[in-house]
Amino acid sequence: MVEGGKRASGAAGPPRRPPARGAGRGRAVLGLVLRVLAVELLAAAFAPLLAYVANHHGHSTFTRASFGATLLVTFFIAIWPTVILHELGHAVAVRLCGGRVVAVRIGTGPNREWQRGDVTYSVGLIPWHGATAYDAHDVVGRRRNLAVVLGGFAGQLVLVLLGLLALLHPSQAVAVVGTFVVMLQVLVMMLNAMPIVRTIKGRPVVTDGVLAWRMLRPPT
C-alpha cells in the first residue's frame, strides 16, 4: 500500500471527522464479507490446480496433518517476502516516476524503526500490513500516481513466477509449496485491490484499490 503526501493507502491520512458509529460498523462488516468471499473464490479457482499437482505427481505423500502444517509454514514464511516485495514495488515505482520515498513500513505491532538517508524504515512483528509513503507533490499526474499504486502488484509477480516454476519440480512437496505461494500472492492482490476504507486510531486507512479507483474515475 502507498501513502502519497496526505493521501493514504494502507496507513494514516489527514485527520478527519470520525465516521458515525453505525457507518464504521457497516464498513467493517462489508470489508469482512468481501474478504471471506475473496478467500472462497480463491479456493474454488485453485482447486483444479491442486488436483493437477496431486495427479501429476502420482500418489500423494501428504497426510491431512502434514498438508495443513505445510500450508501454515509456507504462509508464515512467504508472507514476509510478499509484503516486502509489494512495498518495494511501490518504492521503485515512486523513484521511476520522479518521486521521493519518505518512509517504508513493513508489518504492524511492536516494531523497530531506523533512518537511512532521507527514508524512515520500520519493521513490525506481524507482517500482515505494509505502507510506502512518498511526497505526492513530486509525482504529478494520474498516470504516474496509478503507476505507483500498481507497482506493489508488480513487485509480487516475482513470487508468482517462482511459485509457477516450482510447479514444474519433480518433488510433490515443492510443487505444493509453489501452489500455496501463488495462491497467497493472488489473495494479497485481491485484498489490496478491494476498495475498502478502514479507520485505525481515528485516521482513515485505504487499500490500493481505493487509490486506483480514484485515479481511474473521471475528474469531477
Question: Can you give the pLDDT at residue 153?
Answer: 92
> Could you tell me which residues come within 8 angstroms of residue 205 by beta carbon, excluding any fewer than 6 positions away?
8, 10, 11, 12, 13, 197, 198, 199
Residue 135 resides in a domain: no
Question: Can you give the pLDDT at residue 113?
Answer: 92
- Report the candidate in 189, 187, 185 with the shortest Cα–Cα distance to residue 158: 185
- Cα 120 to Cα 138: distance, rounded to the nearest angstrom: 18
DSSP conformational letter for 84: H
Question: Can you give the pLDDT at residue 51?
Answer: 63
Residue 5 resides in a domain: no
Residue 15 resides in a domain: no
Residue 127 resides in a domain: no
Q: What is the pLDDT along the chain (220 residues), one digit of tens a residue?
A: 665 543 434 433 334 444 455 555 665 666 667 666 766 676 666 666 666 665 665 556 666 677 778 778 888 889 999 999 999 999 999 999 888 899 999 988 888 999 998 899 999 988 878 888 888 777 778 888 889 889 999 999 999 999 999 888 888 888 888 888 988 898 888 888 877 776 655 556 677 888 888 877 776 6
- Report the candidate in 136, 77, 126 with the shortest Cα–Cα distance to residue 106: 126
Residue 186 resides in a domain: yes
Question: Can you give the pLDDT at residue 187?
Answer: 84
Helix axes 142-166, 172-193, angle to 10 degrees: 160
Give the domain extent around 207. 20-98+141-215
Question: Can you give the pLDDT at residue 31?
Answer: 62
54, 118 contact by CB (below 8 A): no
pTM value is 0.77
- C-beta neighbour count of 163 within 10 angstroms: 21
Question: Can you give the pLDDT at residue 110?
Answer: 87
The region that residue 199 occupies, defined by phi over 0 for left and psi between -120 and 50 for alpha, beta otherwise, is beta
Residue 8 resides in a domain: no
Count of the separate structural domains present in the chain: 1
Question: Can you give the pLDDT at residue 83?
Answer: 93
Question: Can you give the pLDDT at residue 10?
Answer: 43
- Report the candidate in 134, 123, 150, 162 with the shortest Cα–Cα distance to residue 211: 150
